[in-house]
Structure 1
């Protein structure tokens, strides 16, 4: 007989990442990881703040994987990527005949599918007022009602939500329900930007270089030193995701042993290098760099 955990894995409803997958040695990322680990042992709602691309979903996966619910399902939903009418049926399910095209026998929604596990609601600020009201009921009563049905279904689900918006400001502007905000604002985690942890850039560069070498069957050894300076000077509005995409581009376009500084500058579209201050603290005296290209003046 197939175990319940194997059934969950066969459906793809598993948390893929652990805290080991969150790379970096900076004080800021270590502090965020330590805080998130503590959240794992407490069965309460978590609200993760952070800019686009900082890795909020990685933290959600990792929190689930150290929680008492780790053997249960983990379902991630991007609230900004699904139209409102579809998102409602995806989250709460529907009864047979609820609308034209509804499946015979109805369909379970994500909350039912995540029973005894975790549901991750990314970009929760994009939820309509109607869906916010329905989510509030789940958090208050631990029950849902499918579309087109009048039957209440009990659910045991932990909610982890994430946003790149100022939810408190949206509440003040009456763009987000205050009662829902206070329900989800139990345990809060702020994931630092890449600008705030530039000393982690070499670690991330080495990691993505290895991943891209394997993906594109290359053997690039590193980046020229001036190329790393370009990385430090960049503002990284897209954070770690932007760095990953740029490394992929650099590896694709490089046929030599080392990625050239000119190619890095071209990819980042940066001006001449100038010292770039850290967002909230002084840079360390010495910042380690990944493997350097050999000095071209040497034999």
Structure 2
């Protein structure tokens, strides 16, 4: 029987406004793909990356354009040449992984050659706001082991100081979301290091990373918007010490696994992150997170309601996906 591809858009409300330096989100629109063959079906989800001009309509168009090749038998590796990186390719790639696992009656982690999965520590995001509100957010989740703070430039030290007061025992990482233009990055990192911040993501806009080359920040810097696929890596060495791997940026788990391997060869550390997404979108990222130094897979926790049968979160950990969900 020939494969059959189905794709649609779904909207999920956020639990509270999700605020970063680029603005606030009250919902997320995702593209969901199902690939059927015989008695089996595989599912995948992608969140279009709006700052790159992507949206669900464009993702659906890309999936429709690739559908004849997928239905004719194109494999995951073929997608790397068939489609550009992005949410559409990620959703199709995840659906094909899921389908292959069901056809082979083997979980994806075995197909990759990973050890049996165990729960992974995930960061929990504190949205950008004024110090008092970020302190309030942090106090509500102070028992979590790892918090990720969304920063915005002016006033960031006060924001982090307020979170530290509310959560004195939590580990902290921060995401500047390209907002530190015109800031003294070394001085900011020195001050944040004193407050226990371990890592700072993307201080400057993508494309302006050359300004980081001669810096000696007290905290390691991680490339997020500046790192999508393996093609970006050579420009990041000497500017960043970590990369943030997101499946929607990489265009799927297939490329993400290759990206992690290539980053390690260059001496870069790895964080696995996610866009706002449901458990279906995060499940494939768990396989990448198993090979990472940091995981930021809290997307489903930030939604008003996840998909039924979603991932299990307990304490500060996210548990491996079960077969009924994905993989």
TM (normalized to structure 1)?
0.29
Task: Point out the structure with max Rg over C-alpha.
Answer: 1
TM-score, length of structure 2 as denominator length: 0.27
More strand by percentage = 2
